[in-house]
Structure 1
């Protein structure tokens, strides 16, 4: 698995722009059919579809289908095929957990399937403007189509009552980005945490979009406080977790943050701090140095 999965989002967004100046390639042979996406049941009418760009939570029932996150642009049709196999009821709503294209890239396609796109105010604002991913020194172009944007936005909290579930989406400020929302399916006791929680891999914090490690920790603490041993906690990337898994993740964030802060206090450069391997105690997928860099950014950049 690639470290910092947002690089997938960057390539997906940059691809069309790059294609405008690249020579026309020769026709490719027909691709082999892709296998269906894996589906995991979490509750009676709550499932997770494990997409190419992350985990999509599905609430189905006679009142219509709700998705949490929209997948990469090219993956959205496969997601809808998996959803139709769960329940052919029409799609009604999609909640974006934040602006990155592995979570919003399928919005345009899903709008065409009848969805109302919902997100935090900052998601719409950021997708309307070019964005910079600091860790890659790269620019992500603004969305080219209005259908890619949430048309229903909110500031702090929003609640939907659908198919016997109370669905509460709430903003956690300055975490993975400045527009993260976590989504709690109350009766099912399932919480989708988006990219605030990376399971089994080094997390990415988009400091260029207002994310900070301090906000990640505060958001995780909020979910720990509202969950118990039976709560199913869904990361955007990685397997379904438990409250105990989330506590271990929180402890890793705190210990790495404190170690990086100690290096800053001692006058060390980022490269010196990285060389000391602050995350060496954890065996995680991906590369540690970009994670240490965004933690360092979080502690040295002005508050956004």
Structure 2
């Protein structure tokens, strides 16, 4: 299975949930919490429950699993499996089957890159399967609380006890597992206030989670401390920490590389500058959106869940 195949499958999954229509913009954790009869929550739950899960071998004994929320990294070896992110809980059967295609080794470790639903909803069943869950301390705190997201007028419930991380770190965490010296580092507030990158140095593979949406406009979660300036800083760090040989796992989208990180950073910085200039001129939100500050980037980045006008609104909120 190649990256283009997984890219198409991911878009088909979201399209089946009705999310690619104009104005249907959803938060990554929108599947958690209160219920809306026959609304987007039910649609995407139904889609996630039956979505095809794709497994792509990257380098060495590291794989990317795609199709259940955010992209999952899997380090496989004699000690068992280490996962980065957990996907959506209703995909459990399909994710479990996909993991078995990698090997029959047990699941031992799960690292959460941040708190959003599509990266943590599967925590509980993975814990039951044997995983010790690790996250930044702020991420753990978010997962224990009800969180109201005003952008969507939606309240998210805490994870079950089994899904709460039991090992936490503040700025950095290191783990030796299956011959890899895994390095986990936090970002300053960016996509949320608790994002982490996970680096596999022997394989030169970097999982940057939702600080990079490959080929898509990203969501910025201001409700839990996200920041457009922080996203730009995180994108610059991702560029600095990679080279032409590095394999990059994004939070969403196909497998990435250094050149795509550069393109993503330049997009963020340029749109931020355009929106800030318009706002300084006295334009209100409606006026900024009408000026189409994202127009030159829309053909590349505006073909997924978040469209140009909505991304302009996100940037406007943060400048």
The two structures share one fold, judged by TM-score above 0.5: yes
Question: What's the Cα RMSD here?
Answer: 1.9
Distance 1:35 1:51, change over 3 A: closer
- Once residues 28 and 264 of structure 2 are traced to their aligned partners in structure 1, the CA distance between those partners, rounded to angstroms, is 23
1:235 equivalent among 225, 238, 250: 250
Structure 1 unaligned residues grouped into runs of 5+: 20-30, 300-304
2:112 equivalent in structure 1: 96
Alpha carbons 1:135, 1:290 under 8 Å: kept: no
Alpha carbons 2:207, 2:250 under 8 Å: kept: yes
2:310 pairs with 1:294: no
1:24 equivalent in structure 2: none
1:1-304 equivalences in 2 (<5 Å): 1=14, 2=19, 7=27, 9-15=29-35, 34=50, 37-143=53-159, 145-282=160-297, 283=299, 284=301, 285=303, 286=305, 287-299=307-319
Q: CA offset at residue 38 of structure 1? A: 1.1
Distance 1:60 1:75, change over 3 A: same
Given the two structures, how large is their TM-score scaled by the length of structure 2? Answer: 0.84
Alpha carbons 2:51, 2:67 under 8 Å: kept: no
- Once residues 211 and 221 of structure 1 are traced to their aligned partners in structure 2, the CA distance between those partners, rounded to angstroms, is 16
Alpha carbons 1:171, 1:182 under 8 Å: kept: yes
**Secondary structure of 2:199's match?**
strand
* Number of equivalent positions: 284
**Secondary structure of 1:228's match?**
coil
Structure 2 unaligned residues grouped into runs of 5+: 1-13, 38-46
Q: CA offset at residue 5 of structure 1? A: 7.3
1:27 equivalent in structure 2: none
